[in-house]
Amino acid sequence: MRFAFGHGFYPKKLDDFKRLSRTADEAGFAMVMTGDTPALVGDHYVGLTMIALETSRCRLGSYISNPVTRHPAVAAAGIAAVNEIAGGRAYLGLSTGDSGVYNLGEKPAKQADLEEYILTVRALLEKGEATYRGNTVRFGWYHGHIPIYMAPGGPKGLRLAGRIADGVFLETGFLPEVIEDTLHQIDEAAREAGRSIDDIDIWWHARACMGSSRDAAIDTIPSGLLGIGNRLARFQQQGKFIPDAIWPKLQELKRRYDFMGHHETAGGATPQRNAAMLDELGLRDYLADRFGILGTPDDFVERIRSLEKMGVRNIAFTALMPDKLDFLHAMRDAVIPRFTMD
C-alpha cells in the first residue's frame, strides 16, 4: 500500500504561499491545504483558490475550517467555487474551531452543532436544500458531492467522524495505545452507522520539523507542539490516554495559551508568545513523542516506518518551521520516494 503525505500552508505573503503550494505539488504531496484563521492569515477561500491555481495533481482543502464563522450556505458556495476552479480536487475540512474562533472572541461549536452543520452543507451541495436551525436553506447553482473531512481529537469527535465524515485528520497522537483506540473508535462508530472504516479516508496530523537532531527540531517548532497540546487539554481527560502527571501541566498550558501566537515560528521578527512553556511546564518530551515527527531525514523515515507498523497511513503536516521550502525539498529528496515507490 502506498503512503501519502499532505501539507498545510498559511497565506501571509502571497508569493511565498504560491511558491510553497506549487513546490509541494511538484514534490509529490498528495494534499496541499490551508487553514481558516482570519486573525492570523488571509482569507481561507482566497487561499484555497491560490492553491487550486498553482497546483495540478494534489487534492486541496481546509486544514481546517469551523461551523462558527460562516453560514453553511456560505461555506458550501466557497468550497464549490474552489472545486470548480480545481477541476474536482477539493474537499471541505471542518472541526469545532480553534484559533479561527478564539481570536474572534467566539467559542468552539459543540459536537451536535458541528454534526448539524456538516449534514447541512452536504445536503446543500448534493440536494440544493436543507433545514438548518429550523429554517429552510436553499442552494441552487451547484449540485455535486464534495468530500467533508473532520479533525477530531477526542472520543466524541472520533465517533462523530465514524458516523458521518468522508475523511478525517486525526489529532489524537502517535502513542501505540492511542493509535489502536483511535482506529477502534472510528471503526465501531462507522459500523453502528451501517458504514465501514474503509469508507473513510484516514489521515494523521503530525507536528513535523527537520533538523540536525531531534532536539534541534523541537527547538525550531516549540509553539507548534504547544498548539496541539492546547487542543489536547480541552474538555475532559477521560478517554484521551493522558497520564495523571501530565494533565495539570496541560491545564496550565490551556490557561496561559495565547491564540495570537498560534502560528508563530522560531526566529521570527516578534517575540514568541507561547514557546517558553514547552520547557517551563515540562511538556517537551511528552508532546514531541505523542505528536511529533522530528529530526534528520533518516529519523523521519525511521519514525514513519514505525508508525506504519502500528496502522498509520497518510500523514499531514503543518508548516510551522521557518524554512518551509527547505523542508519541502528534503521531503521530496529523502523521504517521499521511500514511501511512494511500488
Burial bucket for residue 160 (CB in 10 Å: 0-12, 13-18, 19+): buried
pLDDT at residue 312, as a whole number: 96
Of 78, 29, 44, the C-alpha closest to 340 is 29
The pLDDT tens digits for 176-219 are 999 999 999 999 999 999 999 999 999 999 999 999 999 999 99
Cα separation of 281 and 252, whole Å?
Answer: 8
pLDDT per 10-residue tile (average), the chain, 342 residues: 86 90 97 94 94 98 96 98 98 95 94 98 98 98 98 94 98 97 98 97 97 96 94 93 98 94 71 90 98 97 96 91 94 93 50
Q: What is the residue whose three cell numbers read 525539498?
A: 329
C-alpha cell at 19: 511558491
Cα separation of 182 and 194, whole Å?
Answer: 19
Share above pLDDT 90 across residues of the chain, in percent, rounded to a whole number? 88
C-alpha cell at 288: 514531541
Q: What does pTM read for this prediction? A: 0.94
pLDDT at residue 237, as a whole number: 95
pLDDT at residue 342, as a whole number: 41
The pLDDT tens digits for 167-176 are 999 999 999 9
Q: What is the residue whose three cell numbers read 499531514?
A: 316
pLDDT at residue 272, as a whole number: 81
Pure H helices in the chain: 14-27, 44-54, 72-85, 99-102, 111-127, 155-164, 176-192, 214-220, 222-232, 247-256, 277-280, 284-291, 297-309, 324-330, 336-340
